[in-house]
Amino acid sequence: MAKTPMGTVIVAPNVFWVGVKDPSRRLFDGLIPLPHGTSYNAYLVIGSEKTALIDTVNPGFENELVDKISQHTDSAKIDYVVMNHAEPDHANACSYMLSLAKDAKLVTSAKGKEAAMMYFDVPDERIIVVDESSSIDLGGKTLKFVDAPWLHWPETIFTYIPEDRVLFPCDFFGSHVAYGEFYADEFGNGHTLELAKLYFAEIMMPFRNPSMKAIEKVKALDPKIIAPSHGVMYREPKLIIDAYTDWAGAKMKKKVLIAYVSMWGRTERMVRILKESLIHKGIEVQAFDLTATGIGEVAKQLVDSPVLVIGAPTVLGGAHPVGAYATLLTKALRAPTKYAAILSSHGWSGGAVKQLSGLLEGTKIEVLDVVDVKGPANDEEIQRVLKLADTIEGKLAEL
Ligand code: FEO
């Protein structure tokens, strides 16, 4: 890695990573656990005539951004601030940077312009709207743009420097990690892909069709370096492009995801019997006790699990809230799940199954079976769980 003595990173000649790492952040969007923190990657591009800043940083890190930029130029000399995406972790500091660089223009899409004016009070006359026909000449370096709507907001664009073949896709291809390494190959490709898959599940999985369109555009560009706005960069882009092709294309594995919660062991016993039967059949099973596993792990497994089994008892007349949350998340993330089953138990009255089934309405998920037992499962009910394993085996064989 070509790191400068001042903590910035040389991405290409006169292209620098000037972002910040945020290892202490533990939650994103009030929803997504960040076990490894995150980073807000901003990039400085210095041409022979003009200078551009591509994306900025999360609120509270403006001074660190300016300090990094100052290693290479004065922030007042920036000519363009490119806003690929209007979410505040990248865009909130745009107006601050424009206040330092009095003559600079904000460069964004038409929808990005609406967002910049609405959220960040950027005046109309300081905004340049770009699309795929646009280019900005910095002198020896050109900024080109890729329309990438709904990745993951409607205004999103990517920025590309053809001379250096560096792509800046903002959130796309991102990962939430704040370790010291800057490139995927330094970090370990396998571990990087696990983090990238977690990120894809939580951010991009609901937008698989726009993702596929964007992947084709990226392949056509044939970038040498992919520099996202979270986590590591890729100087072997095929690694992340191929992974995204599988994930966005819903390439399924023959595996079963079981997400369960149990109060007194009745539901857990059925989960265990189902799991052991599936494993005996040679089927991969990923089973998670939701009280001991972050919801991110469940989201990550949803990317390539064709079968989801929810285990949740009735409590207070409805589904255990933890089980309901996992079911709701599956729906919200528009997981490519094909089949589901529900295992549930109750004492004096049911209610969980009705609620969980209702949460799956409106999806394309086919519910294979529901086993709802009063008290401990009896022999007949155990046989039903075993029959569910046979049914799942048959469905997986058809894939
Ligand atoms: Fe990293 Fe959608 O913001």
Ligand 1 atom index nearest CA of 171: 1
Asked if residue 336 is part of any domain, the answer here is yes
DSSP string, 190-230: HHHHHHHHHHIIIIIGGGHHHHHHHHHHHHHH--SEE--SS
Q: Which residue has the higher pLDDT, 31 or 92?
A: 92
| Distance from residue 171's CA to the centre of ligand 1 (Å) | 5
CA distance linking residue 96 with residue 88, whole number of Å: 12
Q: How confident is the model at residue 2 (pLDDT cuts 50, 70, 90)?
A: confident
| Together in a domain, 261 and 235 | no
Is the model's pLDDT at 4 over the cut of 80? no
Which of the listed residues 191, 223, 248 is the one where a domain comes to its end? 248
Q: Is residue 171 within 6 Å of ligand 1 at its C-beta?
A: yes
Q: For residue range 72-124, list pLDDT tens digits in order.
A: 999 999 999 999 999 999 999 999 999 999 999 999 999 999 999 999 999 99
Q: Do residues 67 and 169 share a domain? A: yes
Tell me, yes or no, whether 212 and 262 share the same domain.
Answer: no
Residue of the nearest CA to atom 3 in ligand 1? 87
Instruction: Specify whether 261 is located in the same domain as 146.
Output: no
Nearest atom in ligand 1 to 40's CA: 1
Q: Is the CB of 164 under 6 A from ligand 1?
A: no
Instruction: Kindly state whether residue 181 falls inside one of the protein's structural domains.
Output: yes
Reply yes or no on whether the pLDDT at 274 is more than 90. Answer: yes
Within a domain: residue 160? yes
- For ligand 1, the distance from its centroid to the CA atom of residue 362, given in whole angstroms, is 27
Inside any domain, residue 193: yes
Query: Does residue 214 lie within any of the structural domains?
Result: yes
CB 90 less than 6 A from any atom of ligand 1: yes
Residues 92, 194, single domain; the answer is yes
Q: Is the CB of 230 under 6 A from ligand 1?
A: yes
* Cα(45) to centroid(ligand 1), Å: 21
Q: How confident is the model at residue 1 (pLDDT cuts 50, 70, 90)?
A: low
Residue 399 located in a structural domain:
no
Using DSSP's 3-state secondary structure scheme, residue 283 falls into coil
pLDDT at 180 (0 to 100): 80
- Residue 181 predicted with pLDDT over 90: no
Q: Residue 24 Cα, ligand 1 centroid: separation in angstroms?
A: 17
The protein residue with its alpha carbon nearest to ligand 1, atom 2, reads: 87
Whichever domain contains 228, its CATH number is 3.60.15.10
Q: Whose CA is nearest to atom 1 of ligand 1?
A: 171
Burial (Cβ within 10 Å: 0-12, 13-18, ≥19) of residue 4: middle
pLDDT for 273 beyond 90: yes
Query: Which residue, 198, 196, 203, is CA-closest to 150?
Result: 203
Q: How many domains does the chain have?
A: 2
Q: What's residue 6's pLDDT?
A: 66
Q: Containing domain of residue 280, as a range? A: 255-394
Based on the domain organization, do 122 and 155 belong to the same domain? yes
In a domain, 310, yes or no: yes
Of 248, 273, 296, which closes a domain? Answer: 248
Which letter does DSSP use for residue 76 in this model?
G
pLDDT at 150: 97
**Ligand 1 proximity of 202 Cβ (cutoff 6 Å):** no
Q: Is the CB of 87 under 6 A from ligand 1?
A: yes
Q: How far is the CA of 42 from the centre of ligand 1 (A)?
A: 12
Q: Is 248 exposed, middle or buried (0-12, 13-18, 19+ CB in 10 A)?
A: buried
Cβ of 89 below 6 Å from ligand 1 = yes
- Residues 153, 174: one domain? yes
User: Model confidence at 3, in pLDDT bands (50, 70, 90)?
Assistant: confident
Residue 209 and residue 64 share a domain: yes
For residue 30, the model assigns a pLDDT of 83
Q: Identify whether residues 239 and 347 lie together within a single domain.
A: no
Per-residue model confidence as pLDDT tens digits over 334-391? 999 999 999 999 999 999 999 999 999 999 999 999 999 999 999 999 999 999 999 9
* d(C-alpha 331, C-alpha 343), whole Å: 18
- For residue 203, give the ligand 1 atom closest to its CA: 2
pLDDT average, residue stretch 151-163: 98
Per-residue confidence (pLDDT) for residue 28, from 0 to 100: 85
Q: Provide the token pair at 357.
A: 């089934």
Q: Is the CB of 176 within 6 Å of ligand 1?
A: no
Pairwise CA distance, residues 328 & 340, whole Å:
13
**Which residue carries 């560096």 as its tokens?**
166
User: What does pTM read for this prediction?
Assistant: 0.95
Establish if 298 belongs to a structural domain: yes
For residue 174, which atom of ligand 1 is closest to its CA?
Answer: 1
Consecutive H or E run containing 351 = none
Whichever domain contains 263, its CATH number is 3.40.50.360
Question: Is residue 5 over pLDDT 70?
Answer: no
The candidate with the shortest Cα–Cα distance to 58, out of 34, 18, 99, 92, is 92
Distance CA 193, CA 240 (A): 7
- Separation CA 298–CA 329 (nearest Å): 9
**Non-local CB neighbours of 165 within 8 Å, separated by 6+ positions:** 221, 222, 223, 224, 225
Q: What is the pLDDT of residues 279-312, one digit of tens each?
A: 999 999 999 999 999 889 999 999 999 999 999 9
Cβ 50 under 6 angstroms from ligand 1: no
Of 227, 248, 269, the one marking the end of a domain is: 248
pLDDT: which is higher, 149 or 30: 149
Q: How far is the CA of 355 from the centre of ligand 1 (A)?
A: 32
Q: What is the pLDDT of residue 291?
A: 96
Per-residue CA distances from 19 to 30, 53, 232 (Å): 22, 11, 11
Pair (139, 92) in one structural domain: yes
Instruction: Check if 85 has its Cβ closer than 6 Å to any atom of ligand 1.
Output: yes
- Whether residue 179 sits in one domain with residue 56: yes
Region 36-43 average pLDDT: 96
303 and 223 together in one domain: no
pLDDT digits (tens, 9 = 90+) for 202-218: 999 999 999 999 999 99
